[in-house]
Amino acid sequence: MSRSDSLGRMNRSALVLPVLVVTFALAGCTAAPPPPAPEPVATADPISAEETCTQWSNVVLTPIANAEVAFAEDRVTQQELDGVAKLAVSSLAMLDVEKDTDVYFAIEAARTADDTNIAAGDEPVSEEWRAANKGVQEACEAEGFDVYVNMWTGG
C-alpha cells in the first residue's frame, strides 16, 4: 500500500467522522412540541360595584368639580380646566368594572361619550357627557352606592 493510498483513506475518514457527528447531533435536535399552556388562575375577586362607584367619584367627578370651582373663581384658566377634564377622561380606562353589569354598561357609555366638553368652563357641558354621568350615577344608586364629590377648593 502506497503512502498516497493511506493518505486518501485518512482524508475520507477525516471527512466521514465529522459528518456523522453532525448528523447524530442534528438528529437529537428535532423540535419538541411546546409545553401545554398553564391554566388561567383567578388572581382577584371581581371588582364590586361599590369600588367602581368609589373610583368614579374620586378619579373622575372630584377633580373635575374642584377644577370647575377654581375656574369659576378665576384661579385656573380654561386650558387648566380642560387639562383636568382630559386627565379624568383618560383615567376612565383605568377604572375597574365587573363585566356585564349595569355599572359596567354605564361606565362604557362614559368611556365612549363625546369628551370635547366635560367640564363647565366657557361652554356648557356636552349633553352626551351629562347623560353618561347621569347613567353612571343611576347605575351606582341602583346597586345601593352613591357617587360623590370631595371638595377641597372654594369658599
Global confidence as pTM: 0.68
Q: Are 74 and 28 in contact (CB under 8 A)?
A: no
DSSP 42: -
**C-alpha–C-alpha distance, residues 32 and 21, integer Å:** 21
Residue of higher predicted confidence among 2 and 75? 75
Q: What is the mean pLDDT of residues 144-154?
A: 91
Could you list the residue range(s) of the whole structural domain that residue 68 is in?
49-142
Is residue 131 domain-resident? Answer: yes
Given a cut of 70, whether residue 147 has pLDDT beyond it is: yes
Q: Does residue 136 form part of some domain?
A: yes
Give the residue with greater pLDDT, 37 vs 73: 73
Q: Give a yes or no: residue 23 inside a domain.
A: no
Running DSSP on this structure, what letter comes out for residue 115? -
* Confidence check: pLDDT of 24 > 70: no
Angle 77-108-138 from CA coordinates, rounded to 5°: 85
Count of structural domains within the chain: 1
